[in-house]
Amino acid sequence: EVQLLESGGALVQPGGSLRLPCEASGFTFSSYAMSWVRQAPGKGLEWVAVISDSGGSTYTADSVRGRFTISRDNSKNTVYLQMKTLRAEDSAVYFCAKSDIIGPGITWHFDVWGRGTLVTVSS
């Protein structure tokens, strides 16, 4: 069974940092691009970042560029979201999502989502 399991969510103070791992299983992780998508409480979906299958290409949303970094370790079947200089508006459930298309490229939709991990930024 294809599964994604996010972890690392926590209550953090404004200006703080956090790293979210997402561990994948049930598929050839190194063959698929991966993304992070967030959802603030009661709000819609916001795409955050994507990384290619090899890790050679990444792209982040304007709202987090310079503060968030996406990376992956294909030997550990894990994708990460490193978050720095956190703001109250970064409070959200963070989902990792698997691209539906195998191979290179980063502009793909998502066929599998994790259950999400909650990040709360507050003093």
Partner 1 sequence: IVLTQSPDFQSVTPKEQVTITCRASQPIGNRLHWYQQKADQSPKLLIRYASQSISGVPSRFSGSGSGTDFTLTINTLEAEDAATYYCHQTSSLPLTFGGGTKVEI
Interface residues toward partner 1, by CB under 8 A: 35, 37, 44-47, 50, 59, 61-62, 95, 100, 106-111, 113-116
Considering the complex, what minimum distance in angstroms separates the CB of residue 109 from partner 1?
4
Residue number, 1 or 75, with CB nearest to partner 1:
1
**Rounded Cα gap, residues 58 and 26, in angstroms:** 23
Residue number, 96 or 121, with CB nearest to partner 1:
96
**Rounded Cα gap, residues 65 and 69, in angstroms:** 8
Residue number, 4 or 18, with CB nearest to partner 1:
4
| Tokens linked to 121 | 């930024």
Considering the complex, what minimum distance in angstroms separates the CB of residue 41 from partner 1?
12
- Determine contact, residues 39/95, Cβ cutoff 8 Å: yes
| Tokens linked to 59 | 């792209």
